Chain A
C-alpha cells in the first residue's frame, strides 16, 4: 500500500515531532534526574578535579619561578597601588564604623561573610551555548539546590544540581539564569538575564527611570536566592525605544567568568544555624 520510501519519510517526521515534544516538556519542567544525574556527575567530577588540580600546579610553578621579570614590574605597580589603597582604607574605616552602627540599628542579624563556603571550580560546561561550572562542594558540605554562588567581585550564579561532593552552578550569563536586581543610584528594578558575549540583559526596567552608563547594578534580594546588595555589574548600554514601557539595558558583569577558579557558596542562613544547633 505504501512504498518503503514513504514509510521512511513518515517515520522520520514522527521521530522529529516526538523529539521536539520531549525536549519542550523537559524545558518547561526542570527535571532534576536525581539518581542517574548525580551518578554521572560523580563519575566525571573526580577526574575533572584531578586534572584541574594538576594543571593549576604546573601553572603555579610557571608563574612563581619562571615569570619573575613580570613579577618585579608588577611589584612596583602594586607598591603604588598600595599607597593609594592605604589612603582609601582610612576613609573606609570611617565608613565601616558608621555602617556597623547602622546595621545594629536596622537589626541585621549577621554579616554575609560568616555564612559562606569556599569551593573550587573543577570543570566548565562542554557546550559554548550554556554557561555552567562544576564545583567541588556538594550536599555533604551543606550545599543545596538554589544557593547563591558569589566571589568578592560580585554574583557568579546559583547551584542547580547537587550531588554528594559536587555541584553544578548556573552562571548569571546563561540564558536560563534570572537575578532580581536594582540600579544602585536610582533604585530602578529589573531582572538580570544572560545575554550574548558574556554580557547580561537588564530586563523589565521602566522607561521612566534615568538609568545611565556606568551605573552600578546590585542584587535586590527579592528573588530569595541572592542576598541584597551584592554587586552584579555596571550598565554598559542603554537604549530607550520610542514606544513601549521598558528600556533595553545591557550590563557587564564584574565577574570575569573566563577566569573563575574559586567561588563562595552562600549557605542558607536558617538551615545552617539549625544544623549547628543540632
Chain B
C-alpha cells in the first residue's frame, strides 16, 4: 500500500508537470516536481522503499523526455546519494533547512542537464536565457519546495493511518 501511495503521487506529479502546467503561463519556468518528492523519500522513508520508486520513475522520466538516456537516472541517483549523505550529519528534517535542500537539488539537476548539453553539443554556449530559466526555477524552489515536502509528509501520514485502520478492522473481523 505504501508503494501504491508513492506511485500515485509520482504519476500525479508527472501529469501535473507535463499536461496541466504547460497551459498556465505562470508555471512555465517551474522546476522538476519529482525532485521534492524524491527528497522527501530520501529524508523520511527507508532505503528499501525509496530506491525502487526513484529508479522506476527515473526510467519513466527518461522515456517521456527528449534528453540523452541516463540524465534523469543520473540526477536522481546523485540526489539520492547527496541527501542520504547530508542527513548523516545534518538534521534536515527541520523546516528551516528544507528550502536549501530543494534549491541545492534543483541546481544540481540543472547543472547536470546544462552540463551534458554543453559537453555533447559542440558550439552550444551558456546564454542569458539559460541563467534566467535556472533563476526562475530556484525562485520557485525556495518558496514551494518546503511546502511540497510538508504536504508529502502530511498526506503520507494520513494515508498510512487510514491503511492501518482498515487493516486493523479486517483483522478484528
Contacts and interface: CB of A to CB of B under 8 A. Distances in A.
Contacts of A131: 66
B87 interface: no
Contacts of A229: none
A45 to B, nearest CB: 8
A152 interface: no
B64 A44 contact: yes
Contact of A55 (B23, B34, B124, B130): B23
A197 interface: yes
Max chain B CB contacts within 10 Å: which of A33, A125, A168?
A: A125
B71 A126 contact: no
Contact of B15 (A48, A59, A175): A48
Interface string A158-187: 001100000010100011100000000000
B59 A132 contact: no
Summarize B's interface: helix, strand, loop or mixed.
Answer: helix
Contacts of B120: 24, 27
A197 B128 CA distance: 10
A137 B109 CA distance: 31
Interface stretch (A35-43, A87-95, A209-217): A35-43
B62 to A, nearest CB: 8
Contacts of A48: 15, 18-19
A122 interface: yes
Contacts of A170: 66
B74 interface: yes
B47 interface: no
A41 B64 CA distance: 6
A44 B60 contact: yes
A127 B68 contact: no
Given A124-B18, A196-B130, A129 B67 contact: yes
B53 to A, nearest CB: 14
A263 interface: no
Interface string B59-88: 111111111111100100100000000000
Contacts of A43: 11, 60
B72 to A, nearest CB: 8
A134 B63 CA distance: 11
A115 B77 CA distance: 44
Nearest to B63: A40
Contacts of B23: 55, 59
Given A26-B70, A175-B117, A128 B61 contact: no
Given A48-B18, A59-B23, A126 B64 contact: yes
17 contacts: A19-B74, A22-B70, A23-B70, A24-B119, A38-B63, A41-B63, A43-B60, A55-B19, A55-B20, A124-B22, A125-B18, A126-B14, A126-B32, A129-B117, A130-B66, A130-B67, A170-B66
Interface of B: 11, 14-15, 17-20, 22-23, 28-29, 32, 34, 59-71, 74, 77, 110, 113-114, 116-117, 119-121, 124, 127, 129-130, 133, 137
Given A23-B74, A125-B18, 9 more contacts: A24-B119, A33-B69, A37-B62, A52-B19, A126-B14, A126-B18, A134-B18, A170-B66, A176-B121
